[in-house]
Amino acid sequence: MDAMERRVFLKRAGMGMLAFTVGGADVLMTPGAARAQGLPFRLLKAHEAETIEALGETLVPGAQRSGVAHFIDQQVSVSPGEALLEARQLNVKPPFINFYRAAIAAVDKAAEARSGRRFAALAAADQHAFVDAMRQNKIDGWQGPAGSFVYLVLRSDSIDVVYGTMEGYEALGVPYMPHIAPDRRW
């Protein structure tokens, strides 16, 4: 990366921006803005994104509006070396989309077996009860990555979009304290 590219990249990174595709061109924006603009998903199918949003919102209130599905979708579309997903630290084997697909399928299959409906269609209280059982690996007939691991990864993704950005710190009144403020350095 040359110096100019690096400065622009880092400034946007500090603000929680990622490259999303708008009209065939890459545009930098936050996952929340991508969701608000209704940008199409790169790899996730509509029902997969719906499950991620519902799961994310159950795990961390605010995750849906913060664009958790757009975040994951954008992240699984870039090379593993560029990805910022917690899955990377948790030894998930790339391509990361495979893990998310398997996790979503496991959640929806189990939800249908329990309640006859996909996870996103459950009432909020039922979603909460489902996640509580999933995190403890207490769902009978579960097929896919361990429920506790699905919980850990999706919960981390949701924490990232809600709390992990400068905006998230600001909302909690916590000084973000970057080493050197982005506007001065970048």
Q: What residue ranges bind other proteins (CB under 8 A)? A: 1, 6, 10, 13-14, 16, 58-61, 80-86, 88-94, 128, 131-132, 135, 151-152, 155-156, 159-160, 163-165, 168-169, 172-180
CB of 24 to other proteins, least distance (A): 26
Are the C-beta atoms of 72 and 85 separated by less than 8 Å?
yes
Q: Categorise residue 103: left if φ over 0, alpha if ψ from -120 to 50, beta otherwise.
A: alpha
Q: Categorise residue 116: left if φ over 0, alpha if ψ from -120 to 50, beta otherwise.
A: left
What does the alpha-carbon distance between residue 78 and residue 172 come to, in Å, rounded to a whole number? 30
CB of 23 to other proteins, least distance (A): 27
Of 26 and 116, the one with the shorter C-beta distance to other proteins is 26
Are the C-beta atoms of 16 and 160 separated by less than 8 Å?
no
Of 23 and 165, the one with the shorter C-beta distance to other proteins is 165
CB of 42 to other proteins, least distance (A): 18
Of 46 and 90, the one with the shorter C-beta distance to other proteins is 90
CB of 138 to other proteins, least distance (A): 13
Of 24 and 175, the one with the shorter C-beta distance to other proteins is 175
CB of 76 to other proteins, least distance (A): 12
What does the alpha-carbon distance between residue 68 and residue 30 come to, in Å, rounded to a whole number? 10
What the block records as the tokens of 26 is: 């890459």
Of 108 and 127, the one with the shorter C-beta distance to other proteins is 127
Give, rounded to a whole angstrom, the gap between the first and last alpha carbons of the chain. 14
Instruction: Kindly state the helix (H) or strand (E) to which residue 159 belongs, with its residue range.
Output: helix 147-163
What does the alpha-carbon distance between residue 64 and residue 162 come to, in Å, rounded to a whole number? 9
What does the alpha-carbon distance between residue 109 and residue 33 come to, in Å, rounded to a whole number? 31
Of 46 and 176, the one with the shorter C-beta distance to other proteins is 176
CB of 11 to other proteins, least distance (A): 9
